[in-house]
């Protein structure tokens, strides 16, 4: 999920001056940005989707649907509900431990740069993307079969299997993210649209997954529901096999180490840039300070004495409404908010996130009953509003991350940024587990749950003091300095020598109008020749 601004038509002269470089960067900005304040409603969702299929190629869109819609969306919905019941009823752990375990299973997402480096610089059997989809799917199938078929699995091995399932989704995610990053180079004006496509697929998939998760848990148990996740993993394998990928014959595997070193060096150079590390620090802090106490809420939801004693089906329904709220957030962002500045959107969403958390407080204190609103209705409203605001906060963070990726290592660097975000989420999850433990919130004791909610809501206000780290610009702007968007002759020659770091070199005869056509037909990653900045092309 990451845009980068190079233009489709590259300058033909070979020893460009600084003026030439500046012209190239200006041209790379694409068409003039729309007026500040909104993009207007998309005329037709079907036409929009068909446009993306035409511009980006059906195999890429299939990969997005399989990864975001089915694996992360539908599979994630089932996983969320089934794993909650798995830790509660099968492993019988405390809510604080379950909160920590959920954080542990997210560890594979913290090393996304490793998966990104592998997909960028180390083809398997001559292919850069396809084998990693297949590998991810196979890992998911095996992991979920182990959890579902072993009736008395030790906590450690259960945690290891669920981590492997999480790694399966993470590898598929970083691979499709690399494809999105490459497509953003060819179609910089579609960067926000691709982010919206990802969010749309994830929200719709999550809606379906959460809708059926409770019924699956009730019908076949949490282990059986987790076993159903072999189906999304199998679809990821199919998407990988169908993905139009460039075959790289005679790949010099002995140079892989050098390519890892070069890519790592470029990532460190980029991270030292103030335009990059400042928003990165904000993203981490905003997520880490959004303390997660969801397991405490889940145990309270299902408690027959202190809580409302919601059934499995209703728990799934609550989360399904959350997916509807998330989908509404995607629609609002895509049609109204995507051209507003990062800082203004993040200020509003962070403030609303803290205020919306008070709905949990009203529910736990049972104040809703005094207003005549049953727990069932209020819990649904609470979840829908919370997920909508979370999505409105997450979307500009994703677009901001995508605008910070330097040419040549877009997929890898975007994975690094997502790892920073995931470290923030993990910090928030473990801090929530610690908070639940300190307040002595257990499987049956919830008298201090209100205090945990109040502390969480106050902490959500703290990132507002760090908003000065976020650029004032909007998604149509170029955020990286010019020296990170261009390369000198020596760097260009080095990159040609390690051509597989990004792609096959473009045939010199494919110029001007035929360049884009060759990208669409052959789905090649394109490198700029000699001293020109590297241009990655996805299967478009």
**Domains in the chain, number:** 2
Same domain flag for 270 and 408: yes
CB neighbours (10 Å) of residue 477?
14
Same domain flag for 262 and 185: no
Nearest Cα residue to 400 out of 279, 288, 273 = 279
527 inside domain: no
- Out of 35-39, 130-134, 216-220, give the one with best mean pLDDT: 216-220
Q: Which of 198, 217, 243 is the last residue of a domain?
A: 243
Same domain flag for 228 and 258: no
d(CA 39, CA 338): 7
Placement of tokens 């290891």 in the chain: 160
Say whether pLDDT at 364 is over 90: yes
In this prediction, residue 389 has a pLDDT band, given cuts at 50, 70 and 90, of very high
Asked if 452 contacts 436 with a C-beta cutoff of 8 angstroms, the reply is yes
529 inside domain: no
Same domain flag for 467 and 328: yes
In this prediction, residue 80 has a pLDDT band, given cuts at 50, 70 and 90, of confident
42 inside domain: no
Q: Which of 224, 243, 262 is the last residue of a domain?
A: 243
Say whether pLDDT at 319 is over 60: yes
Same domain flag for 299 and 438: yes
Same domain flag for 258 and 199: no
In this prediction, residue 521 has a pLDDT band, given cuts at 50, 70 and 90, of very low
Same domain flag for 272 and 317: yes
Q: Which of 243, 275, 301 is the last residue of a domain?
A: 243
Tens of pLDDT, residues 106-163: 888 888 777 777 777 777 877 778 888 899 999 999 999 999 988 788 999 999 999 9
Domain of 405: which CATH number?
A: 1.20.1250.20
Same domain flag for 106 and 135: yes
210 inside domain: yes
Same domain flag for 178 and 234: yes
Same domain flag for 234 and 260: no
- Model-level pTM? 0.67
Tens of pLDDT, residues 417-476: 888 888 888 899 899 999 999 999 998 899 999 999 999 999 999 999 998 988 887 777
| Mean pLDDT of the region 475-494 | 57
Same domain flag for 194 and 326: no
User: What pLDDT shows up at residue 486?
Assistant: 60
d(CA 145, CA 143): 5
Same domain flag for 400 and 463: yes
Domain of 83, in residue numbers: 49-243
If DSSP codes are grouped into helix, strand and coil, which group holds residue 30? Answer: coil
489 inside domain: no
Quote the tokens at residue 120.
Answer: 């960028």
């Amino acid at each position: 999920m990451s845009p980068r601004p190079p233009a489709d038509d590259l300058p033909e002269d070979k020893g460009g001056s600084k003026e030439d470089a500046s012209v190239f960067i200006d041209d790379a900005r694409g068409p003039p940005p729309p007026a500040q304040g909104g993009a207007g409603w998309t005329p037709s969702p079907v036409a929009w989707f068909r446009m993306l299929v035409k511009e980006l190629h059906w195999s890429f869109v299939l990969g997005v649907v399989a990864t975001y819609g089915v694996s992360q969306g539908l599979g994630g919905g089932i996983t969320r509900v089934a794993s909650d019941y798995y830790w509660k009823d099968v492993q019988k752990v405390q809510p604080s431990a379950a909160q920590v375990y959920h954080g542990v299973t997210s560890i594979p997402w913290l090393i996304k740069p490793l998966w990104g480096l592998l997909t960028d610089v180390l083809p398997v059997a001559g292919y850069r993307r396809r084998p990693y989809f297949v590998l991810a799917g196979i890992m998911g199938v095996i992991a979920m079969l182990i959890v579902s078929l072993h009736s008395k699995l030790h906590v450690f091995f259960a945690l290891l299997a669920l981590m492997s399932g999480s790694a399966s989704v993470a590898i598929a995610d970083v691979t499709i993210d690399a494809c999105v990053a490459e497509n953003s180079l060819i179609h910089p004006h579609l960067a926000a649209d691709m982010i919206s496509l990802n969010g749309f697929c994830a929200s719709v998939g999550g809606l379906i997954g959460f809708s059926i998760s409770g019924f699956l848990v009730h019908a076949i148990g949490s282990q059986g529901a987790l076993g159903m996740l072999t189906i999304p993993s199998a679809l990821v394998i199919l998407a990988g096999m169908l993905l139009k990928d460039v075959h790289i014959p005679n790949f010099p595997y002995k140079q892989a180490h050098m390519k890892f070193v070069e890519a790592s060096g470029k990532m460190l150079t980029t991270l030292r840039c103030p335009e990059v590390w400042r928003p990165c620090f904000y993203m981490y802090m905003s997520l880490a300070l959004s303390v997660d106490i969801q397991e405490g809420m889940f145990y309270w939801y299902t408690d027959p004495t202190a809580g409302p004693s919601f059934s499995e089906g209703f728990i799934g329904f609550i989360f399904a409404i959350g997916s509807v709220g998330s989908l509404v957030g995607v629609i609002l962002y895509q049609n109204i908010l995507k051209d507003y500045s990062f800082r203004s959107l993040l200020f509003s969403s962070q403030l609303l996130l803290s205020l919306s958390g008070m709905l949990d407080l009203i529910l736990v204190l049972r104040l809703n009953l005094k207003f005549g609103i049953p727990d069932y209705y209020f819990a649904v409203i609470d979840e829908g509003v919370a997920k909508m605001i979370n999505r409105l906060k997450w979307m500009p963070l994703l677009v901001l991350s995508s605008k910070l990726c330097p040419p040549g290592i877009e997929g890898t660097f975007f994975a690094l940024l997502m790892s920073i975000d995931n470290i923030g989420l993990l910090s928030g999850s473990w801090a929530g587990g610690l908070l639940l433990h300190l307040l002595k919130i257990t499987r049956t004791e919830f008298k201090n749950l209100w205090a945990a909610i109040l502390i969480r809501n106050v902490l959500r206000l703290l990132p507002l003091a760090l908003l000065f780290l976020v650029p004032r610009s909007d998604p149509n702007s170029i955020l990286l300095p010019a020296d990170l968007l261009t390369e000198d002759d020596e760097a260009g020659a080095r990159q040609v020598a390690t051509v597989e770091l990004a792609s096959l070199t473009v045939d010199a005869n494919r110029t001007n109008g035929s360049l884009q056509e060759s990208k669409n037909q052959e789905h090649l990653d394109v490198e700029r020749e000699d001293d020109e900045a590297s241009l990655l092309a996805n299967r478009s």
